[in-house]
Structure 1
Amino acid sequence: MERGYPAHTVDEYLAAIPDAQRAALAPIRRVILEAIPGAGEHIGYGIPIFDYRRRGLVGLSVAQEHCSLHLMSPPLARELKGLLAEGELEGATLHFTPDEPLSATTVRLIVQRRIAEIDAPLMAHG
């Protein structure tokens, strides 16, 4: 059911999803926006995408049985494999259930690592 909620804004997407999933995603959205300097957000590929330096940093989505935090970075997903205490990492997507949403600590860790990944080439070139 991923990408099954047509929306033009993140607010529209959250309004369209089931209550339990919205209750799980709304606090994660707040943590993401607080953790990204100059954060932007838009709908891309039918899901909420959060931007940093005009690049997609992470995304959120829901499916019938779970919610997902999209890391949008296979290298980071490989780095975090076995290190995360929450959710189930499949490819570059961390799946979790509304009953067991991700903690702010886990979300901040992922966002901080993605920011560092995007900033690394910029720092290398001064």
Structure 2
Amino acid sequence: MGTVDDYLAGLDPADRAVVERVYAVARDEVPDAEQGTGYGMPALVYRGKPLLSVKRTQKHIGLYPFSPDAVSAVADAVRALPETGLDKGTVRFQPSHPLPDDVVRALVLARRQQIDG
């Protein structure tokens, strides 16, 4: 097991399914990503840099790509979705309204391109 697997094991089953889906899409897009940490959070790490973290908070699920530019790449799509929000480096959503795979995919690809330079 790794840091992401350990984190997932401790989540409520309904939240776990939503968070697992985000990580699954990220792994499909970046199969070389490994489990690790980023800014103290369980994360997928690519080429030694944090790619993505997904965490359940008290009020929402936060998706952290460790990059304001990656968030900007999907901002318009996220704003069109119900019960979502954006901050400089975070996409927030409710488990009852998970992010569509294509939005997650676009965010992950934007972050991977940044890391690849």
With normalisation by structure 2, the TM-score equals 0.84
Quote how far apart the aligned CAs of 1:116 are.
1.1
Q: 2: CA distance between counterparts of 1:98 and 1:59?
A: 16
Give the residue type in structure 2 aligned to 1:77: V
8 Å CA contact 2:60, 2:94 repeated in 1: yes
Structure number with bigger Rg: 1
8 Å CA contact 1:37, 1:52 repeated in 2: no
From 33, 38, 53, the equivalent of 1:59 is 53
Instruction: Give the alignment of 1:24-103 within 5 angstroms.
Output: 24-84=18-78, 85-86=80-81, 87-103=84-100
Local SS of the residue matching 1:49: strand
Q: 2: CA distance between counterparts of 1:65 and 1:94?
A: 13
Local SS of the residue matching 1:81: helix
- Give ranges in structure 2 of 5+ residues lacking alignment: none
Q: CA RMSD in A?
A: 1.8
**Percent of aligned positions with the same letter in both sequences?**
33
Q: 1: CA distance between counterparts of 2:66 and 2:24?
A: 19
8 Å CA contact 1:74, 1:92 repeated in 2: yes
- Give ranges in structure 1 of 5+ residues lacking alignment: 1-7, 121-126
Q: How many residues align?
A: 113
- After TM superposition, the structure 1 stretch with the greater mean CA deviation from structure 2, 37-46 or 92-101, is 37-46
Q: 2: CA distance between counterparts of 1:118 and 1:25?
A: 23
